[in-house]
Structure 1
C-alpha cells in the first residue's frame, strides 16, 4: 500500500516540478512550490502512514541509523524520472521525512544565470573554488553544472566526495568517480586523504565543515589540484573569515598565507521567488586578484566588499548589487530581495532612492571604463 502511495506522491512532485516533499503526522503531505509550502489535497497522515512511507524507501542501514540516533539521510532514484535526497527524522516520537528533488538534467551556466567569468576560473590548473550560501540556495545545482561543464570539455580525472551523492555524472570527456560518504568511505577527511592518492585533477568536497576537511582541501589546492568546496556562509568576506576562524589562533597567520595563494574565487548565492512563479538565483562573485590575495594575507578581509565593488572589470559582483538588479528589472519583489541581502538597511534605502528616480550606481561604472 505504502509504496503505491509514495509512488503517487513522487509522481506529483516530478510532474509539478516542486522542490521538496514534506511528510509528517497530523497533516496531509506538503510540497514546496516556488518557495511556498502547499498542502496536498489528500487525507491527514497518521503515525502508521508515515512509518509505512518511510519503510517503503529507506535502506536497512539507514533504518538502523534512525533507531540509533533519531535521524538519517540518503539519496535514492525514482526510476529514471528523478533522484531525491531524503532526510528521515523523529519528531515527538513519530516519523517525519523531507524529500528534496534533484533534477535529472544539468542546467547550463546561462540557465542558472551564473557569472560568465566562472568558465575561465574553474579551468585553472590548480586552486580552491568555493560555492557558499544557506541550505537550499542551489549550491549543489551550481556545482553539478560546473562539474558537468568540465566533464564536457576537459580530459580530466574528477573525484567527487558527497554526502549523499545527488547528481549522477556519466563519464564524458573526463573520468568521474563519485564517492558517497557513509557508503563508499567513512568520512570527509578520510575521503580527501585517499583522493589525493588516486591521481585526481579535480576534487569536489561536498561539505567543508571541520578543521581536518578544510585543512586537507587547502593543501590539495596548493599541490596542483582544482578543489571545489561548499560552506554554509553568506558572502565572500564572511567565507574567508569563517575558514580562518576554524583554525587555532597560532595557525591563523599561516592559513591566511596558504589561503591567499590557493584560493581562485568564491561564489556566494541566494535563491528567491521569481514573479509570477518559479525561483531565481542572485550571485556574489569574488575573483581572487593579487590585490585581494594581499587583503587575505594581511587580515584586511573587511575591505573585501569594497574591492569586489571596484573589481567589476574582473567579473566580480556583490550579492546586494545582484539583488538590486533583480528588483530593478522587476524579476523579484522588494521584500524578497531585502530579506536576503547582506546589508538590508542599505539595500532598502537604495531601492527607495531608485523609486524617486535617483540612481546611485553611475559613478562606479565610469571608473570601470578606464
Structure 2
C-alpha cells in the first residue's frame, strides 16, 4: 500500500497518528491506544515512501542528518510528518490533522479562553505534553481573532500544520527552515513586518524565549507554545532557561508581559468515545504576578485554586465543568465505533488439516465354487480380482 492508502485507512479508523517503520507492522493510535493493523513492512517499501515525500535532493540531506520534518496534504488530509532513521531502517510518524482549523467551540474548549485573544499586547502561553493538542488550541485562538478583528497575524512554525484563510485578519505564515533559517531570525524579522499578533510555534531555546518576551513587551500580542505538565512548570522552565544572574530580571519581565498560561492534557470520555482537552488556566492577576516575581512557582497552584473570580481554572474545577457539559462536538474524522480491524494484527491461523480419508474396503469377492472347477484357475481369478 502507498502512504496515501494508509492515511485513508487511519482516517477511517478515527486515528490521530500513524506509525510506519521498516520490519514492523503499521500502527495507528485510536483514542490514545496503539494498535497494529498490517503485516510487517519491508524496509525497501518504507524507504520508497520517504524518498517520494522528500524528493531526491532532500532525501540525501535526510540520510546525512537522520531526520526530516514536513507538513503536506495526503489523500485530502493535512498531515504533519516526521521521517527519521532507526536501527531497523527508515520510519515515519504521521499526525493526522483536521482538514480545516477549528474554533474554540468545535475544539471542545471552554468559551472563557476567547478572552485571552482579546488582549492587545502581552504573552499567552499554551503548554502541555507532546500530542496533547497544543497546536489545535493555538489554531482555534488564531481563528477566534481572524473571525472577529482586523489584525496582521504572522505565524512562525516548524513545520506549518494548519493553513489559514484570511477572514477579517491578514495572516502570513512562515516555516522554519523553509522561509527563515531559525526561530530566532524569524522573530527578529517579524518585528519589522508590522504585526499585531505574533504566533510562535514553539519556544525551544533561551534566545527564542528572550526574543518572544521582548516582542510581548513592545506592543504585540504573542501566542506561543511550550512543553510542560502544569502552568507553574511552564513558567519555571522558561525562567530557568536563562543564566542564574539574570533570572530575577527575566521573572520580572515575564510578570510584566504575561496575559495567561493555558496548560492542557487530553482526557477520554467513555460515554462519548471522544478525547477532549482538560485545561489548567493561570491568569496574570496581581497575586500571580507577585508570585512570579518572587520565583515562588510552587505556590502558583494555590493561586490558581483561589483565582476563580479572576478567570483561573484548576484541573479539578475544569473537570467539573466537563462533567456538566453535554454539547460535545465530534471531530469529522473520528468515528464513534471504529471497525474491528483496529484490534492487534495477528497472523491468520491456518484451517485445521482434515485426517486422510481411508478408502472403504472392497466388497467381498463372491465366487461360486463348482466341484468340477480347476483350483489353479480359481486361484488366478482371485489374485487378479485383488489386484
Q: TM-score range by the shorter chain?
A: 0.7 to 0.9
Q: Which residue of 2 aligns with 1:297?
A: 293
* Residue 17 of structure 2 corresponds to residue 13 of structure 1: no
For 1:298-320, what per-residue CA distance to the aligned partner results, in whole angstroms no more than 9, with x for missing partners?
22222211111111122211124
Shift of 1:240: 1.2
Aligned equivalents of 2:79, 2:89: Cα separation in 1: 22
CA contact 1:115–1:315 (8 Å) conserved in 2:
no
CA contact 2:73–2:79 (8 Å) conserved in 1:
yes
For 1:260-292, what per-residue CA distance to the aligned partner results, in whole angstroms no more than 9, with x for missing partners?
110000000001322152312100000111221
Q: Which residue of 2 aligns with 1:194?
A: 189
By percentage of residues, which structure has more helix?
1
CA contact 1:77–1:84 (8 Å) conserved in 2:
yes
CA contact 1:87–1:98 (8 Å) conserved in 2:
yes
CA contact 2:101–2:164 (8 Å) conserved in 1:
no
CA contact 2:72–2:78 (8 Å) conserved in 1:
yes
Relative to structure 1, the CA distance from residue 61 to residue 179 in structure 2 (aligned partners, 3 Å threshold; closer, same or farther) is: farther
Aligned equivalents of 2:19, 2:179: Cα separation in 1: 28
For 1:235-275, what per-residue CA distance to the aligned partner results, in whole angstroms no more than 9, with x for missing partners?
11111111110111111111111111100000000013221
Aligned equivalents of 2:196, 2:323: Cα separation in 1: 40
Aligned equivalents of 2:58, 2:82: Cα separation in 1: 10
* Residue 289 of structure 2 corresponds to residue 312 of structure 1: no
Shift of 1:13: 2.3
* Residue 144 of structure 2 corresponds to residue 149 of structure 1: yes
Relative to structure 1, the CA distance from residue 59 to residue 275 in structure 2 (aligned partners, 3 Å threshold; closer, same or farther) is: farther
The TM-score, its normalising length taken from structure 1, stands at 0.84
Q: Which residue of 1 aligns with 2:372?
A: none
Q: Which residue of 2 aligns with 1:215?
A: 210
Aligned equivalents of 2:203, 2:185: Cα separation in 1: 13
Relative to structure 1, the CA distance from residue 329 to residue 144 in structure 2 (aligned partners, 3 Å threshold; closer, same or farther) is: closer
Residues 155-304 of structure 1 aligned to structure 2 (within 5 Å): 155-276=150-271, 277-304=273-300
Count how many residue pairs are aligned between Structure 1 and Structure 2.
326
Unaligned runs of 5+ in 2: 327-387
For 1:62-119, what per-residue CA distance to the aligned partner results, in whole angstroms no more than 9, with x for missing partners?
423321121111111125x211110111111511111111111222212333232221
Residues 70-109 of structure 1 aligned to structure 2 (within 5 Å): 70-78=66-74, 81-109=76-104
For 1:134-185, what per-residue CA distance to the aligned partner results, in whole angstroms no more than 9, with x for missing partners?
1000000000011011111111000000000000001111110000001000
Unaligned runs of 5+ in 1: 331-370
Relative to structure 1, the CA distance from residue 301 to residue 169 in structure 2 (aligned partners, 3 Å threshold; closer, same or farther) is: same
* Residue 31 of structure 2 corresponds to residue 34 of structure 1: yes
Greater RCO (Cα-Cα under 8 Å, separation 6 or more): 2
* Residue 53 of structure 2 corresponds to residue 57 of structure 1: yes
Aligned equivalents of 1:108, 1:139: Cα separation in 2: 14
Which structure 1 residue ranges, 4+ long, deviate > 6 Å from structure 2? 327-330
Larger Rg: 2
CA contact 1:132–1:268 (8 Å) conserved in 2:
yes
Aligned equivalents of 1:59, 1:150: Cα separation in 2: 37
Relative to structure 1, the CA distance from residue 125 to residue 29 in structure 2 (aligned partners, 3 Å threshold; closer, same or farther) is: same
Relative to structure 1, the CA distance from residue 61 to residue 260 in structure 2 (aligned partners, 3 Å threshold; closer, same or farther) is: farther
CA contact 2:155–2:198 (8 Å) conserved in 1:
yes
What secondary structure is seen at the aligned counterpart in 2 of 1:12? helix
For 1:312-365, what per-residue CA distance to the aligned partner results, in whole angstroms no more than 9, with x for missing partners?
1222111244357667999xxxxxxxxxxxxxxxxxxxxxxxxxxxxxxxxxxx
